[in-house]
Amino acid sequence: MAVSKAKKFRQKCVREGKRNPEDGRSQFAFADMRTRRTKSKLEQLNRNKHKNHHSYNGDDGSFYLDLISGL
């Protein structure tokens, strides 16, 4: 494979005794930050625990308005 222009520049800097720009990289530069894991069953239950479950008394904020009754 061909060597990129940036890599050639870094190698040239090192040959000339200058500081290597690779040394300034963060320790996380080579870490794979895309690691994913699926949620466990308990995490899923806790996530959906309070979603629309507050209407057990029938008090969910809805109401019925009867406009047709005898006025």
Q: Which two tokens stand for residue 23?
A: 């040394």
The pair of three-digit structure tokens given for residue 54, joined into one six-digit string: 């507050």
- Report the distance separating Cα 11 and Cα 14, nearest Å: 5
* Mean pLDDT on 42-53: 71
Structure tokens at 30: 């080579």
Q: What amino acid is encoded at 10 in this protein?
A: R
- The confidence score (pLDDT) of residue 5 equals 95
**% the chain with pLDDT above 70:** 73
Fill in the amino acid letter for 1. Answer: M
Predicted TM-score (pTM) of the model is: 0.37
Q: Is the dihedral of CA 39, 43, 45, 46 positive or negative?
A: negative
Q: According to the model, what pLDDT value does residue 30 have?
A: 78
pLDDT in tens, 12-32: 999 999 988 888 888 877 777
Max CA-CA distance within the chain? 97
